[in-house]
Amino acid sequence: MSTSPSSLGTAVVTGASAGLGKVYADRLAGRGYDLVLVARRAELLDAVAADLRARHGVNVRTLVADLSLAADVDKVASLLREDAGITLLVNNAGTSTLAPFAATSPAQIQAMNAINVDALVQLSRAVLPAFLARDKGTLINIGSVLGFFSLPVSTAYSGGKSYVLTFTRGLQDEVKDSHVVVQLVAPSATATDIWEISGVPLSALDKNVVMTAEDCVDAALAGLDLGEAVTLPSVENAGLFAAYDAARAALAAATQNGKPASRYQVK
């Protein structure tokens, strides 16, 4: 079904053929956004697009891209720079290998960094100048609670998600005097196919700590509507993050000292 362009503009969702990206595409279409769906699996992507056109009556384009490949990242980045109708980007595409670092292959580490970090950074860089020039636009970066801490099997993955955390917080400081919105979403365990890819099957987890993809995205969008800079869908006590952020700011202030701390001074 073809319609006139949406008054909300176009939302670009990476990793849109399954998991969180597929749900984001559905929810954003339900809100009235036109869509560009990005993923590497063309058949799945086309099926998602056809379903969304039929159910929501919005314009949906697809762009087949493997974001572990620099040439494909450039292809998506060109679209983000050149299409003035794009008003929202969800940097959702991701991959994971969960294993001790010494048992993780260089290729697996490179793939995680390429998709989880490098592609996210390059696509953020591609879209933000236009958002700032128009003083309008929304960037949503999908991080992880594992960006706040590391497990014995998540060292490489946590390192990349920690980068996403700090990078996105930095962007928020940069755009704070504009009407551009930058949100970090940090899910905990969520029922997507990333677990099978990671080497730790979903069945190995306590089902009581696993959130559905639908609940995760709905919570993330509710957080966006509330104006949250950082949304942790599974954390009931919002004061925990406020305390964490206050401690981070206090630690940063405490580093501004030109002399070694007294415990390091020779007596």
> Measured at the alpha carbon of residue 183, what is the angle toward residues 128 and 226, in degrees to the nearest 5?
130
Task: List, by residue number, the catalytic residues.
Answer: 157
Pair 245, 172: CB distance under 8 Å? no
Q: How far apart are CA 218 and CA 26, in angstroms?
A: 11
Burial category of 127 from C-beta neighbours within 10 Å (exposed 0-12, middle 13-18, buried 19 and up): buried
Q: How many CB atoms lie within 10 A of CB 261?
A: 8
First-to-last alpha carbon distance for the chain, in angstroms, is 78
Tokens of 78: 């060109």
CB contact set of 106 (below 8 Å; sequence gap of 6+): none
